[in-house]
Amino acid sequence: MRIEALHLTGFRNYRAFYSEFSPSVNLICGDNAQGKTNLLESICYLSQTHSFRTRKELELVRFGADYADMEAKIFSDGREQILRAVLFSGKRPRQLFLNGVKQKNAQSLKGVLTTVLFCPEDLLVLKKGAAERRRMIDAALCQLRPRYDRAVEEYTRLYNQKSAILRDHFERPDLMEVLPEFNERMAVAGALIVSGRAKYLRELERYASQFHSRFSGGTEELRIEYRTVSTIDDPYAPTKRLYEQIREHQQLHARAEAESGQCLSGPHKDDFEVFLGDRSIKVYGSQGQTRTAAISMKLAEREIFHADTGEMPVLLLDDVLSELDAGRQDFVLNQIKTGQVFITCCDKTRLTELGQTLMIEDGVLLGGGQAEGGV
Ligand code: ATP
Ligand code: MG
């Protein structure tokens, strides 16, 4: 899967932009605030039909312009396809097109272009709380496994209802009568979730450790440990056994749940920890190490998607080079040899041996393709 060309009109600080891209590395260079991240944002928008930076479409339309038009020529699923989105500055709803045909909703555009994005905020995933990490696994797994997606949806719904019962039962003790049924259904969905996460994290570790080792010149070994419901001794066990062990945990915590008025048992408290050797990244990781591990995990996410679907997602790396030493920068610029990659960077002396460099200044591609050119 790759982007062959992109045409922007009135998107963010781009008045008119047209470029064709290398199927390998595209290094996007420019000073601060010139439009590098904006370019990745437009690609992400066409991939996911929403921005990773804002929910407000109006912000994406160039100041003073009536509309923003994004159009990309994609090679995907063995053929060329055209994705297009037009956003308006007024109240008019956006328009989405696939191969020139206006689409009723965003669903038909999904999957035409898959992207894996790394942005500086992703570093927080390894350093911050467990909720961020659960969100990261769920986002990747829900895309790949519809059954997992349904289990998470069901579990979340049941969890919210059970939490409300536990919160309100002090005033309304009769509510507790329905709790056994909730526990039963949460254990069924929970077992699928635990099984899915365990297998996904095992794959993630397998690929990420290979990348991390190459990245760090073989000096660091990355490991991922999955933490789930304490009564589960083997998260790879058949879901029937996971179900029984989740039930056991619920029984052990039934009293504490009633007393605290909170839902204490189940995979909604899951977490994973990333180690380099035997040291936790969260506790001991340096900035460069954390960044290296986070990028390795993104590369791993892409490999898993590729192994599963046969398509290699386009990799978007925003601002990854800072804080990396020369060897690690060389890995990012010159060693990611599979699939298409976009890398933004402020240092104009950086070069890639693999693809091409695009210079961006104030929303203009220097020495680039013609702005008038169609996709
Ligand atoms: P950095 O190296 O600092 O990350 P960057 O090249 O990634 O910089 P971007 O975030 O892509 O910078 O672009 C930021 C510029 O785009 C800002 O100057 C901002 O004012 C401008 N900008 C953002 N939205 C709009 C808009 N709707 N219309 C015009 N300009 C905009
Ligand atoms: Mg930026």
Supply the pLDDT for residue 263.
Answer: 96
Among 267, 269, 271, CA closest to 243: 267
Task: Evaluate if residue 368 carries a pLDDT over 70.
Answer: no
Supply the pLDDT for residue 77.
Answer: 87
Contact 297, 204 (CB under 8 A): yes
Alpha carbon of 305 to ligand 2 centroid (Å): 26
Q: Mean of the per-residue pLDDT values for the chain?
A: 93
Measured N-to-C along each axis, helices 239-260 and 179-215 cross at an angle, to the nearest 10 degrees, of: 110
Task: Evaluate if residue 120 carries a pLDDT over 90.
Answer: no
Task: Evaluate if residue 150 carries a pLDDT over 80.
Answer: yes
More confident: 178 or 122: 178
Structure tokens at 322: 């800072």
For ligand 1, atom 14: residue with the closest CA: 33
Supply the pLDDT for residue 375.
Answer: 59
Supply the pLDDT for residue 231.
Answer: 98
More confident: 111 or 185: 185
Name the residue of 8, 13, 118, 316 to mutate for ligand 1: max ligand atoms within 8 A of Cβ. 13
Please indicate, yes or no, whether the overall pTM of this predicted structure exceeds 0.85: yes
Among 207, 204, 267, CA closest to 239: 267
pLDDT per residue over 257-279, tens digit each? 999 999 999 999 999 999 999 99
Instruction: Give CA 63 to chain center in angstroms.
Output: 29
Least confident stretch, 117-131, 225-239, 251-265:
117-131
Amino acid at 326: A
- In what side-by-side order are the strands of the sheet with 222-227? 222-227, 271-276, 279-280
Name the residue of 37, 52, 322, 344 to mutate for ligand 1: max ligand atoms within 8 A of Cβ. 37
What whole-number distance in Å separates Cα of residue 216 and Cα of residue 161?
Answer: 47
Structure tokens at 21: 């891209």
Confidence of residue 373 (pLDDT cuts 50, 70, 90): very low
Alpha carbon of 56 to ligand 1 centroid (Å): 15
Among 328, 323, 332, 327, CA closest to 287: 323
Supply the pLDDT for residue 371.
Answer: 43
For ligand 1, atom 9: residue with the closest CA: 35
* Ligand found nearest the CA of 62: 1
Task: Evaluate if residue 69 carries a pLDDT over 70.
Answer: yes
pLDDT per residue over 348-361, tens digit each? 888 888 899 999 99
Task: Evaluate if residue 47 carries a pLDDT over 50.
Answer: yes
Strand duo 364-365 + 356-361: pairing? antiparallel
User: Mean per-residue pLDDT for 235-254?
Assistant: 98
Give ion ligand 2 contacts, CB < 5 A: 37
More confident: 322 or 22: 22
Q: Which residues contact 259 (CB under 8 A, 6 or more apart)?
A: none
